[in-house]
Amino acid sequence: MAGRRRASGARVVLALCLLLVCLVGCGGRPATDSAKAEVQRVLDRRAAAMLDRDAAAYRRTGTQDGFDNLRAVPLAGWSYRLTGLHRTGDTATAEAELRYRVEGYDRAPVSAGRTLSLSLDAQGEWYVEAERPAGKSAEQLWDQGEVNVVRGDDSLVLGVGQSKEALRSYAELADDAVPAVSQAWGTDWARHVVVLVPNSLNDMAGLLGSPASSYRGIAAVTTGETGAPAKAPADRIIVNPDAYGVLGKVGKQVVLTHETTHVATRADTAAATPLWLSEGYADWVGYLGSGRSPSEAAPELRRAVAEGQGPQALPSDADFGFTGDADRLAGAYESGWMACRMIADRWGEVRLGEFYRAVGAHEQRKGAVEGALKDVLGTSLAEFTAQWRAYLRAQLG
């Protein structure tokens, strides 16, 4: 009996030990999970305060820099999803995906990688010390300072380091661009644009996550995913104020109309679409009604033709590289424009739009242009190229 009692007691001790191991094991691992949950709750409160424009509630979650810079921006959505947390004692670094929507413009959230530095306050709650773009993510406009906002009839212009008067001039040009693009392309697009005007070329490059040297001399670019579905976020037209500022009124209008065309054609622009067509079509729409003749708008191409060195083939995508030779880049844009201008002149503006859509409808680049030339214009690539070269000589010779 005594032996049995001892065995029974041993089983009790073993059971208690196992219970303690279970409790410790179940309590040790969620320590990290608990911190993640706590940080996510802080980020949720921070996002809610941003949307509610509640400065006091936002301040209770941490630094207020972002809140102040975004005060004038109309937001329809703002949320964080914690993707990683690295804790060292009372401090932590969080990686998160920020998703936000600009009210009235973004059909779906824009995503941006963010890195947040946090620390525990006196009450043992996490507090955001700083927020910045994640390692390989581009800056957001509010990272560069307080954002000023001007609403146009068909545009929203957001700027940093820019006066309201300057931003209104962008809105006026964008408002003229939208109906001009709709007249050429059609109305099956959002028919409004978001224009970002940073303070400098370097700031523009920061918004694009690229070196400033890539955009020196480029007046503006448009961001957006080619072949984007209807629910994709609105594109952003990002201006280089250094290059844009030296343009005359006509040049500024051409640039904004060109970029607005990219916004309108985005859903029909795919991997199959060569840059000579997408950029050439945008230039064609941009120059409509400008009064600029081919000789005025294509000086680099005119010089090459006059010297008997006109292009033998349509430009390749590599010819459009921003970091390459400036003359080569200008010639590529001018060549694409003249190709689209020739289609409009010989086959009509409607056929030009049909050709653009037909090329983009192909699943791959190979055969896309050739197929659309045959189906829409009734010609071959060789015939089209020969006609284009003759057109250049006739228009620019």
pLDDT at residue 227, as a whole number: 62
- Average pLDDT over the chain, rounded to whole? 90
pLDDT at residue 31, as a whole number: 43
CA neighbours within 13 Å on the CB side: how many for 217?
11
Which segments within 29-74 are labelled E, that is strand? none
pLDDT at residue 324, as a whole number: 65
Q: How far is CA 372 from the centre of its chain?
A: 29
DSSP, residue by residue, 220-244:
EEEE--TT--TTSPPPEEEE-HHHH
How many CB atoms within 10 Å of residue 394? 11
In the chain the domains, ranked by start, together with CATH numbers, are: 30-137 (3.10.450.50), 142-265 (3.40.30.160), 270-397 (no CATH)
Span 311-320, pLDDT tens digits: 999 999 999 9
CA distance 134 to 97: 9
pLDDT at residue 311, as a whole number: 96
pLDDT at residue 20, as a whole number: 34
Give the residues of the chain that fall short of pLDDT 50.
1-31
CB 286 within 8 A of CB 252: no
pLDDT at residue 228, as a whole number: 60
